[in-house]
Amino acid sequence: MMQNAADNAATLSQAAPVLRIGAVDKYFGATQVLQNCTLDVGDGEIVTLLGPSGCGKTTLLRCIAGFWDADAGRIEIDGQDMTPVPVNRRPVGVVFQSYALFPHLTVARNVGYALRMRGTPASEIEARVTEALRTVSLEGFESRYPAQLSGGQQQRVAIARVLVMQPRVLLLDEPFNALDAKLRSTMQVELRQLIKQLGITSIFVTHDQEEALTMSDRIAVMRGGRIEQAATPDEIFDRPVSSYVADFVGTSNFWDAQAEAGQVTLPDGQSVETGLSGKVRVMSRPHNLRLAPEEQGPWRGVVLFQRHIGPLIEYHVEMPDGATIKVAAIRQDRVRPVRDRAAVSIGIIDSAQVSVFAD
């Protein structure tokens, strides 16, 4: 929470935020689905709401769009309270998970829909539709129907359809879900570049941490209706505020330890400073660990198997207490091949990169 406040302060000091979410609560019957959600998003910033299903990320998005009303708190855009503003008058564009393209309208009519609803003159509509389609590289598709487009093309129509009304805030609800894995990563990069180029303030919703790390300027990790941590991808990855965040973003190893006199002793003999005392949980990323022959260290185990992930090798080491510790090494750095069932010891590369949590 400290992190959160500090971050908000940082954004505020630069310029007034475009979108301010202030202490938003939302209930479904007796269940609280959003709890004191506070987040400021600066001009042109891309912020991702990241979390497992049911964490409230989509609910928050829908409250911003105006599909649902928040039960408490304020949502402001450019300093204006959005509470009394109906959905169809909010300066917000939504790209839906299903894209929600109108199946009975051509691409051109889908993209021009918002302008027609506003009563824009036909000549202007045509020009702006053409421009929007050029922005997403879909010239020449004007007279196609959504069903005649590929998934990637449909997504681009959905984006052009909201861009054409020049929204102040762009909301994207898991927009890559309907795409296959390979197309997904290409589209992620393309979409980020497009949004950055247009400079639109955007909120992304996803449960995919890799997508969040690729797309965002900042990530807000959500848990049970609360924003657990909102920070840059680097910070989320390297300095998670809780074991939940650490576990959700990236691969992590956890073990229990005792903190005494501001110090936690690590299993390989090093120690690390902490403000906590008593029982703590210690976390290290697999790439901060390294394998050594058994006799070189006190933290010993047996290699269960090795997983090859691109240029990385991830060793799963079974410890005497039955826990598994994951150790990652870059393929080239491997000194000599490690056999399965080999007895090894594990060392921590940089003790400053180890996180200590209270839970």
Give the residues lining the site for other proteins (CB under 8 A): 65, 67, 80-81, 84-94, 96-98, 100, 102-104, 113-114, 117-118, 161-162, 165
Smallest separation (angstroms) from other proteins to the CB of 159: 12
3-state DSSP assignment of residue 266: coil
Phi-psi region of 153 (alpha: psi -120 to 50; beta: other; left: phi over 0): alpha
Closer residue to other proteins in complex, CB, 93/286: 93
Smallest separation (angstroms) from other proteins to the CB of 134: 20
Q: Which of 93, 91, 77, 87 is nearest to 21 (CA)?
A: 77
Closer residue to other proteins in complex, CB, 167/286: 167
Closer residue to other proteins in complex, CB, 15/117: 117
Smallest separation (angstroms) from other proteins to the CB of 184: 20
| Residue found under tokens 């996803």 | 206
Smallest separation (angstroms) from other proteins to the CB of 25: 20
Closer residue to other proteins in complex, CB, 206/209: 206
End-to-end alpha carbon distance in the chain: 15
Closer residue to other proteins in complex, CB, 23/117: 117
Closer residue to other proteins in complex, CB, 78/314: 78
- Give the torsion sign (CA, 340, 346, 348, 349): negative
Smallest separation (angstroms) from other proteins to the CB of 188: 21
Smallest separation (angstroms) from other proteins to the CB of 157: 12
Residue pair 105/113 in contact by the 8 Å Cβ criterion: yes
Q: Which of 177, 136, 170 is nearest to 153 (CA)?
A: 136
Q: Which of 226, 222, 280, 287 is nearest to 253 (CA)?
A: 287
Smallest separation (angstroms) from other proteins to the CB of 318: 37
Distance between CA atoms of residues 270 and 354, nearest Å: 11
Angle at 343 between CA 342 and CA 347, to 5 degrees: 120
| Residue found under tokens 């009975």 | 104
Smallest separation (angstroms) from other proteins to the CB of 58: 11
Residue pair 290/353 in contact by the 8 Å Cβ criterion: no
Distance between CA atoms of residues 333 and 158, nearest Å: 45
Distance between CA atoms of residues 249 and 268, nearest Å: 25
Smallest separation (angstroms) from other proteins to the CB of 122: 15
Burial (CB count <10 Å: 0-12, 13-18, 19+), residue 191? buried
Residue pair 205/172 in contact by the 8 Å Cβ criterion: yes
Closer residue to other proteins in complex, CB, 206/242: 206
3-state DSSP assignment of residue 61: helix
Distance between CA atoms of residues 285 and 288, nearest Å: 5
Closer residue to other proteins in complex, CB, 43/314: 43
Closer residue to other proteins in complex, CB, 76/235: 76
Report the amino acid identity of residue 232: T
Distance between CA atoms of residues 256 and 308, nearest Å: 28
Closer residue to other proteins in complex, CB, 203/266: 203
Smallest separation (angstroms) from other proteins to the CB of 51: 21
